Amino acid sequence: MSVRDLAALAEQALLLSVAVSIPVVALAALASLLVSVLQAVTQVTDATLAYLPRLLVVAFALVVAGPWMGAQVVEFAARAFSGGS
């Protein structure tokens, strides 16, 4: 395997890691935004209040998107170890 092939494989791996993390990160950001707005409206400034909704949203996102994420990583690994790109 040439250096060019390895560079292409590394680029694909980085793009895949971004692609599979976007749904979870986006939902966590949305949950944080909603909790922040709720805290601003109600003037509740408890710092620990923001963690539980975000934890639940991230857990839910991983349960829902986990099979897809795993399938994408397995497909990439199979492609990488078989030598195809």
Q: Residue 10's Cα: distance from chain center in Å?
A: 18
pLDDT in tens, 20-71: 999 999 999 999 999 989 888 988 877 778 789 899 999 999 999 999 999 9
If one counts the domains in the chain, the total is 1
1 lies in some domain:
no
CA nearest to 69, candidates 1, 16, 6, 2 = 16
Rounded alpha-carbon distances, angstroms, from residue 34 to 16, 31, 57, 59, 74: 28, 5, 12, 17, 34
Q: Looking at the domain assignment, is residue 27 inside a domain? A: yes
Where in the sequence is the domain holding 21, given as residue range(s)?
6-82
The answer to whether 27 and 57 have CB atoms below 8 angstroms apart is yes
The helix (run of H) or strand (run of E) holding residue 75 is: helix 51-82
Query: pLDDT tens across 5-34, in order?
Result: 889 999 999 999 999 999 999 999 999 999
Asked if residue 41 belongs to a domain, the reply is yes
